[in-house]
Structure 1
């Protein structure tokens, strides 16, 4: 199995064997691709991991409260029918 380190070494070997003109074009393409990718990712509406974890905790607590209220309502309805 190829490890990330071996893949990186292979990529470096391949890049080292490219003709100078092609290598310059590949470097230019890589830089432009990074710039475009960063630009497009910055347009997306992401939240930080911390905010996601906070909201997950709030949701879990809210879910627990809803379940408790449902149990109380069921108990009240059961008492009302008796």
Structure 2
């Protein structure tokens, strides 16, 4: 989920971009924009960058382990074939 600091920042930026005549309602607008963004992000089922990076690292380790196991299987199959040919 996205950090609430980021939501506050986005809501503030949007409300700051509003015309001066509307700015007197800034707090209310920020709250409503923040609420809308938060509900939208929740529906998107987003993950944090930290969680994403953890999963990328886990996938890299899994790929490395898979490559090691594939190489090991190839060696064992080669040994089995050599033994079977004798």
- Class of the TM-score when normalised by the shorter of the 2 chains: 0.5 to 0.7
Aligned counterpart, 1:73 = 73
Instruction: State the SS of the aligned residue for 2:56.
Output: helix
Instruction: Report the TM-score, using the length of structure 1 for normalisation.
Output: 0.56
Query: Which has the greater radius of gyration?
Result: 1
Instruction: Quote the RMSD (CA, aligned, Å).
Output: 3.2
Q: Which runs of 5+ in 1 are unaligned?
A: 1-11, 17-22
Instruction: Report the TM-score, using the length of structure 2 for normalisation.
Output: 0.54
Structure with more relative contact order (C-alpha pairs < 8 Å, separation 6 or more)? 2
Residue 41 (structure 1) shift: 2.0
Q: Which runs of 5+ in 2 are unaligned?
A: 1-16
Aligned counterpart, 2:55 = 55
Runs of 4+ in 1 over 2 A off after TM superposition: 33-39
CA distances 1:27-53 after superposition (whole Å, capped 9, x unpaired): 8xxx4x835444222222111100100
